[in-house]
Structure 1
Amino acid sequence: MPTLPSEHHESSPPPTASPRMATSFGVDAQRYDRARPRYPEALVARILTGTSGADVLDIGCGTGIAGDQFRAAGCTVLGVEPDTRMAEFARARGLRVEVATFEAWQPGDRMFDAVVAAQSWHWVDPLAGAVKAAGLLRPGGRLAIFGHVYEPPAEVAEPFATAFHRVAPDSPFSGQPARRPLELYRAGYAEFADRIRETEQFAEPELWQFDWQQSYTRDQWLELLPTTGGLTRLRPDQLTEILDAVGAAIDSLGGSFTMDYTTLATTAARASAS
């Protein structure tokens, strides 16, 4: 992902994690939904394989990107989302959404066949969240925690890192390496698996990986970049300076580049009652 440890791949909430940061992504929900990549259809299908029903709970559903894909696969989806702006956008696309953090959300007696968290689990305590998810799943139901790893080419990532440090040197995100290895992200998802094991309520967790590519023009990447963690709370002049630097870098590549994406998932089936 672009330099920042931002919102996607931490094994637990980073020191900067806060309700204010967590809800900063709703500052432009339309842009977020328009620019953010969707998830591999093979991932959605694999999550649903073997489940006995099609009731899905989407934790931190955002604008409903993942929820909409599960609905298209024939599921009944309920989203839980703390940001009212994101929740309203998801409702406008036809999803049912209840506004709350996962920890505070009251499910009543509702049960689900799959509980999913798309790029949102790091805002949840990984052990307490797994325990709560277990209580919401029917026997054999699946918990699936997933997100994208995306590191732009060095020719794009390095000018971004330099510009970010220049305009926001005091940011907790400043000074991060321009690009980070996939194994760093895989380690975070392995930690999710460790917390799931601790509940003793799931079968052995699995780590899934889906590799794919997506091409970006200059305008497409500059549309996505402001939706990433660390940039959502910058002043307009700071953001402009960063986007100008990144735009010039993409221009030097001929106006576009191809991104190598990896979508990682930690997933486990709810153990049957003994």
Structure 2
Amino acid sequence: MPTLPRQQPPSAPEPHLHRQVAESFGTDPERYDRARPRYPDALVERRALPDSPFTMPAASASMLDGYQLMLTKAADGIRLAGGFGQAEQWRFDRTRTYTRSGWLDQLATSGALTRLPAGLLAQVLADVGKVIDTMGGTVTVPHTTLAVTATRAV
């Protein structure tokens, strides 16, 4: 009788190891920009350097631990670099209700799905669309935005 190898427990999320998924966000930039969740107003208003080109994208709840680890490392790097005040980490939780078409448009820009062949992507979107229809035509999705900021020391 063959024995199966023991399964290893899942490791902590390591989003920085998912290079192909990360790089896939550029496959349809216009659609992504149109469909992605907006940054929360509170984050935009609190930005210490409004002219800075650096922002953090919204993160899914399942990846928050990995992103939190990266933010902590970024804050440590800012502290070690010198020339800045105390680094702050901000978190903004919110929900957004999407129409069927709005969610499918956004979903098609998410990393894993951009790597699917066109036919398979169409099937996934059709199936998800059917589920949204059974929910009344809308879906409410939680979003979390994490940010690390520091002001320049004078």
Quote the Cα distance in structure 2 between the aligned partners of 1:252 and 1:204.
49
Quote the Cα distance in structure 2 between the aligned partners of 1:260 and 1:15.
22
Quote the Cα distance in structure 2 between the aligned partners of 1:26 and 1:261.
21
Please tell me whether residue 35 in structure 1 is matched to residue 35 in structure 2: yes
Structure 1 segment 154-173 matched on structure 2, within 5 A? none
What TM-score results when the alignment is normalised by the length of structure 1? 0.45
Please tell me whether residue 45 in structure 1 is matched to residue 45 in structure 2: yes
Structure 1 segment 4-153 matched on structure 2, within 5 A? 10=15, 13-17=16-20, 22=23, 24-48=24-48, 56-58=51-53, 117-118=54-55, 146-151=56-61
> What displacement does 1:220 show?
0.9
SS in 2 for 1:260: strand
Quote the Cα distance in structure 2 between the aligned partners of 1:216 and 1:251.
12
What TM-score results when the alignment is normalised by the length of structure 2? 0.75
Return closer, same or farther for 1:213/1:251 CA change in 2, 3 Å cut-off: same
Structure 2 unaligned blocks of 5 or more: 1-12
SS in 2 for 1:221: helix
SS in 2 for 1:257: strand
Is the contact between residue 103 and residue 139 of structure 2 (CA under 8 Å) also seen in structure 1? no
Structure 1: 4+ residue segments shifted above 6 A = none
> What displacement does 1:57 show?
3.7
Please tell me whether residue 209 in structure 1 is matched to residue 119 in structure 2: no
- Counting aligned pairs with the same residue, the percent is 42
SS in 2 for 1:149: coil
RMSD between superposed Cα atoms in Å: 2.6
More helix by share: 2
Query: What corresponds to 2:71 in structure 1?
Result: 189
> What displacement does 1:193 show?
1.4
Please tell me whether residue 200 in structure 1 is matched to residue 110 in structure 2: no
Query: What corresponds to 2:8 in structure 1?
Result: none
Is the contact between residue 60 and residue 143 of structure 2 (CA under 8 Å) also seen in structure 1? yes
> What displacement does 1:200 show?
2.6
Query: What corresponds to 1:242 in structure 2?
Result: 124
SS in 2 for 1:39: coil
Higher relative contact order (CA 8 A, sep 6+): 2
SS in 2 for 1:240: helix
Letter in 2 for 1:244: A
Quote the Cα distance in structure 2 between the aligned partners of 1:33 and 1:252.
27
> What displacement does 1:35 show?
0.6
Letter in 2 for 1:149: A
More strand by share: 1
Is the contact between residue 150 and residue 259 of structure 1 (CA under 8 Å) also seen in structure 2? no
SS in 2 for 1:270: coil
Return closer, same or farther for 1:29/1:183 CA change in 2, 3 Å cut-off: closer
Query: What corresponds to 1:257 in structure 2?
Result: 139
SS in 2 for 1:269: coil
SS in 1 for 2:126: helix
- Could you tell me which of 210, 214, 233 is aligned with 2:115? 233
Quote the Cα distance in structure 1 between the aligned partners of 2:119 and 2:63.
31
Quote the Cα distance in structure 1 between the aligned partners of 2:128 and 2:72.
32
Deviates more, 1:180-189 or 1:210-219: 180-189
